[in-house]
């Protein structure tokens, strides 16, 4: 079915309480007369609506039946990463709402709902969606010849990448995208799909490590009712969702050998056999795989099948690190600055010459994703029109390393998740302290400055044992 493009922006309400859906629909008809309101009673119905309709904003409950709101959020984020999603949560599930923000939700609201505050939040969310849409349309008009939509950069390495993407898009071959974390492998996969003959068909992004190992097979290939305990209905699976289009298997090096064996059959036969099914079903899906792993080493270790590797490596693209395309950093920085300003509704800002020089000379282990996060912080913490070195908050080559990181090769390195959590906690504390200093301890004003709800900011303050009174002068 072709996607519909309505004249009015559309809001999708997702909740398994029929009375709440009815009440909100009736209220929004009065409070938001310039919108269309659609409803879905569960996650699967919501995904079906998103597949056929152009939705500007999703308001969704976290606690639902078969598929909770976080699972649906992950699916939405893989389909439409920039879609504005607001989560609804009860008193006992605030921690889940904070998790939802980390996973890509724009904001959350607590039940029982306060309609005036919710309406203001929806207005802001719709404005964000409109700005992002206008920015995307503008980029599509000004995209220079010889580049790929949504990619920034004119260095020789990027020019070569654009040619490879175009060539790959023109074929139907399997593609393997390799590169370090943060180099834009997902963006590359989406570009190949959007430039291909399959662009009007589904694009399904699968973050393989995010799906528990024992569920990955059933999620990819689907199952029939009664195939195992708890299988009370048929489940099509992600390959069937992508039929006619493209599926991208992100971090394919992390999947188990048993799933690799079934994936090899899909590549060889273009057939899927669901769990519990007696026969196989033919599908028409182009496979793109991506990884930051050393697959050759995994083959030698026996954790990755050699025959699968050669099936995947028909066309190989390597994403350059940010250090390899350092000459593109000013272009990238300017692009992200504009994007973050739209996201936050911030005033006009620009980089000082010293700030740009710092960005250019900095070592970027986190690649483009790290650069984008640095600019997000800079926009948040810069009160004036010019972003200077102090607003970037990046370490110089001579500063102390962050938590869990050592420049001494013989010193112990803590686990990645532990180091990341420590960095996140450190950043959150500094951020909230700065907010409260600027607002003189006024939590409501701090919440407005940070584009958080007052309840969300208070929750963060309680979690980190931060008292607003100590910042009052």
List the domain boundaries for the chain.
Answer: 10-140, 160-320, 323-471
pTM above 0.85, yes or no: no
**Cis bond upstream, residue 52 (ω within 30):** no
CATH 2.60.40.1080 correct for 10-140: no
CA-CA distance, 232 to 2, in Å (whole number)? 31
- Residue-wise pLDDT for 141-191, tens only, equals 444 445 577 788 888 899 899 999 999 999 999 999 999 989 999 999 999
- Residue-wise pLDDT for 235-274, tens only, equals 888 998 898 999 999 999 999 998 899 899 889 888 888 8
Tell how far CA 274 is from the center of its chain: 28
Same CATH topology for 10-140 and 323-471? no
Pick from 173, 172, 168: nearest CA to 198: 172
| Topology annotation, domain 160-320 | Rossmann fold (3.40.50)
Give pLDDT, residue 473. 63
- Residue-wise pLDDT for 53-80, tens only, equals 889 999 999 888 777 888 888 888 777 8
CA-CA distance, 204 to 319, in Å (whole number)? 20
In three-state secondary structure terms, 335 is helix
Q: Which class would CATH give 323-471? A: mainly alpha
List C-alpha distances in Å: 106 to 21, 57, 73: 21, 10, 11
């Amino acid at each position: 079915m072709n996607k519909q493009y309505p004249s009015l922006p559309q809001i999708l309400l997702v909740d398994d309480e029929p009375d709440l859906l009815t009440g909100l629909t009736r209220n929004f008809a009065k409070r938001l007369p310039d919108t269309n309101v659609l409803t879905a009673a569960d996650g699967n119905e919501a995904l079906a609506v998103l597949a056929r309709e152009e939705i500007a904003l999703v308001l969704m409950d976290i606690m639902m039946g078969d598929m909770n709101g976080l699972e649906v959020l992950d699916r939405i984020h893989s389909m439409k990463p920039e879609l504005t999603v607001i989560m609804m949560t009860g008193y006992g599930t605030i921690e889940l709402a904070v998790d939802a923000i980390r996973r890509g939700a724009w904001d959350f609201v607590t039940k029982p709902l306060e309609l005036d505050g919710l309406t203001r939040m929806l207005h802001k969310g719709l404005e964000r969606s409109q700005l992002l849409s206008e920015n995307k349309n503008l980029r599509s008009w000004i995209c220079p010849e010889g580049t790929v939509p949504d990619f920034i950069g004119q260095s020789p390495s990027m020019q070569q990448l654009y040619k490879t993407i175009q060539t790959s898009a023109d074929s139907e071959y399997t593609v393997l995208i390799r590169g370090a974390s943060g180099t834009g492998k997902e963006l590359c996969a989406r570009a190949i799909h959007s430039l291909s003959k399959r662009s009007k068909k589904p694009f399904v992004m699968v973050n393989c490590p995010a799906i528990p190992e024992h569920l990955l097979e059933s999620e990819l290939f689907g199952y029939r009712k009664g195939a195992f305990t708890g299988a009370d209905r048929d489940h099509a699976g992600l390959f069937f969702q992508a039929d006619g289009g493209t599926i991208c298997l992100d971090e394919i090096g992390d999947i188990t050998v048993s799933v690799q064996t079934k994936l090899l059959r899909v590549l060889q036969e273009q057939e899927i056999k669901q769990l519990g099914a007696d026969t196989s079903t033919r599908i028409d899906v182009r496979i793109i795989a991506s990884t930051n792993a050393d697959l050759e080493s995994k083959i030698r270790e026996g954790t990755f099948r050699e025959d699968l590797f050669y099936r995947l490596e028909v066309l190989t693209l390597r994403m350059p690190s940010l250090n390899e395309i350092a000459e593109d950093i000013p272009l990238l920085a300017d692009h992200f600055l504009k994007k973050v300003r739209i996201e936050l509704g911030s005033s006009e800002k620009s980089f000082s010459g010293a700030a740009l020089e710092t960005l250019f000379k900095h070592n970027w282990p986190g690649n483009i994703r790290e650069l984008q996060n640095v600019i997000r912080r800079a926009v948040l913490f810069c009160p004036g029109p010019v972003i200077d070195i102090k607003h970037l908050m990046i370490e110089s080559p001579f500063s102390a390393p962050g938590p869990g990181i050592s420049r001494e090769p013989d010193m112990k390195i803590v686990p990645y998740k532990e180091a990341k959590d420590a960095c996140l906690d450190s950043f959150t504390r500094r951020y909230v302290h700065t907010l409260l200093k600027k607002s003189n301890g006024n939590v409501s004003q701090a919440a407005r400055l940070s584009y958080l709800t007052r309840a969300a900011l208070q929750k963060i303050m309680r979690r980190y044992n931060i008292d607003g009174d100590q910042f009052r002068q």
